[in-house]
Structure 1
Amino acid sequence: MAKQDIQIKTKDGVAKAGLFRPAAASSAKAGVILYMDAFGPRPALDAMAERLAGDGYAVLVPDLFYRFGAYGPFDAKTAFTEEKSKAALMAMVGGTTQEMTISDSGAFLDALAAEGVTGPIGTVGYCMGGARALNAAAVYPDRIKAAASFHGGNLASDAADSPHHKAAAIKARVYIGMAGVDRSFPPEQSTRLAEALRVAEIDHAIENYVGMAHGWCVSDHGVYDAAGAERHWERLTTLFAETLA
């Protein structure tokens, strides 16, 4: 797969992004935006984007923390156990609001279109990216036809920017893969999200990956689970194959 480093002009500055194309680049009319977890773009996410590109999609992996300038790199296994890196990460996560990413997502879609990716778009997010993938689907329903979240946190919280509040605006098919036990997405939020999607008549599935911990899909996490990750890939690739073709 070919990776192209691009810069995307947004309302607040310039976001760096990796654009991954299949070998037959001209055939990639459908695209995917991969919303990062809290540790930022890095080789583990590049590898995931390459795998999706191998299925024929143009895959964009934007840096959602671009407003903070240079940072990291962070070790996903230790970043939240070391006080200095934890403080830096929490500041960036807290300082990158849902509304910021919603605005940025319009620029991400425009960047894909400028690269010739004019077909349907799928979104997938991990950890903090899960809610952003869903919110993007709600705000840009004419472009985004599938949205997936894996170990996404606060998908149906009490916050005003929680994705479940925008469920009625979604036109995409939605898939939620949740860790077996996850403090960032407890059972009451799962129930609330399911009800919001059902009432909005969204084609959706919420699946509990029993035994998996928050972060199980991404290879450089300490809780990575190879079998669980393959199960996630099966669900994700099926979702995109059925919606983006």
Structure 2
Amino acid sequence: MKQDIEINAADGIAKATIFRPDNGASAKCGIIFYMDAMGPRQALFDMAQRLADSGYTVLLPDLFYRFGAYGPFDGTSFGDLASREKIMTMLRGTTQEMTKRDGAAFLDTLTAAGATGPVATVGYCMGGARALTAAAAYSDRITAAASFHGGNLASDAEDSPHLLAADIKGRVYIGVAGVDNSFPPEQSARLAEALRIGGVDHMIENYVGMAHGWTVSDHGVYDQTGAERHWKRLLNLFDEALA
């Protein structure tokens, strides 16, 4: 069940969508779904509903709300020069600090929607880093965080998520594309070291043969077998961490 809403977020009104189980069951555990760089759209709605039908209340916020109307974009939009420039402008202008500030409103929205229990985060592409940042900033509420083909999770930037590893109290799962310039092997090693030193229960898994974006159906590199493997890992993580 899909419901479009508006959230009084840190810097204005953010459009968002809440998903509940289609069978009408009550879902006390919540999930914040951090979008990829193409923004909320049908492919992500389908993924969020699948999560909801597994027994969760899912919130999919528009992280680009500060830029007003844009798009629509989909998994093929990055191949268009004008679209790519717009997407990159919004991506660079949506900082990790903004993720921290927005997190309180997102959690309050889940609570108001009936998700009064523990919360998890999941992010794709740019959303992967946001899922980890939120888990660190709100460790008292977020018990698990997952990233799939997330970029720059352990970069040289001052706001790189790996620098927050010691603040994460929940479980972490990182699904890595086999070849991904946005998260090369040296970043994977750096993230693993930070999580280990920080005492975080974590797993970093390499999806050999998968390309960046393999989990999202409207990407040209979508791989159904790899996507189903990602679903198994994700649902197992949430089933255990949110029990």
**TM-score, normalised via structure 1 length:** 0.97
Give 2:167's match in structure 1, choosing from 169, 188, 195: 169
Residue 55 (structure 1) aligned with residue 46 (structure 2): no
Q: How many residues align?
A: 243
What SS is found at the alignment partner of 1:39?
coil
Name stretches of at least 5 consecutive residues in structure 2 with no aligned partner. none
Distance, in Å, in 1 between the alignment partners of 2:124 and 2:10 is 24
Q: CA deviation at 1:22?
A: 1.0
Which amino acid is 2:137 matched to? V
Query: Secondary structure in 2 aligned to 1:220?
Result: coil
* Structure 1 residues 145-202: Cα deviation after superposition (integer angstroms, max 9, x where no partner): 0000000000000001101000000001000000001000000000000000001111
Equivalence map 1:34-113=2 (5 Å): 34-77=33-76, 79-113=77-111
In the aligned structure 2, how far is the partner of 1:243 from the partner of 1:25?
Answer: 23
Greater shift, 23-32 or 59-68, is seen at 23-32
Residue among 214, 217, 226 paired with 1:216: 214
Amino acid at match of 2:116: T
Match of 2:158 in 1: 160
**Aligned equivalents of 1:99, 1:199: Cα separation in 2:** 23
Q: Equivalent of 2:176, from 178, 192, 195?
A: 178
SS in 1 for 2:46: helix
CA distance in 2, matches of 1:147, 1:218: 18
Q: Does 1:122 align with 2:120?
A: yes
Q: How far apart are 1:24 and its partner, in Å?
A: 5.0
Deviations 1:17-73 (A, max 9, x none): 110001354621001110000000000000001100111100000000001111101
Give the C-alpha shift of residue 83 in structure 1.
1.3
How far apart in 2 are the matches of 1:162 and 1:205?
18
Q: What SS does the aligned partner of 2:84 have?
A: helix
- What SS class does the counterpart of residue 100 from structure 1 fall into? helix
1:174-213 matched pairs, under 5 angstroms: 174-213=172-211
Q: Which runs of 5+ in 1 are unaligned?
A: none
| Cα displacement (A) at 1:76 | 1.3
User: What is the CA–CA distance in structure 1 between the aligned matches of 2:221 and 2:33, rounded to whole Å?
Assistant: 20
CA distance in 1, matches of 2:167, 2:91: 25
SS at match of 1:212: strand
Q: Does 1:241 align with 2:239?
A: yes
Q: Sequence identity, in percent? A: 70
Q: What is the TM-score of this pair, normalised by structure 2?
A: 0.98
The corresponding residue for 1:27 is 26
> Partner amino acid for 2:139?
P
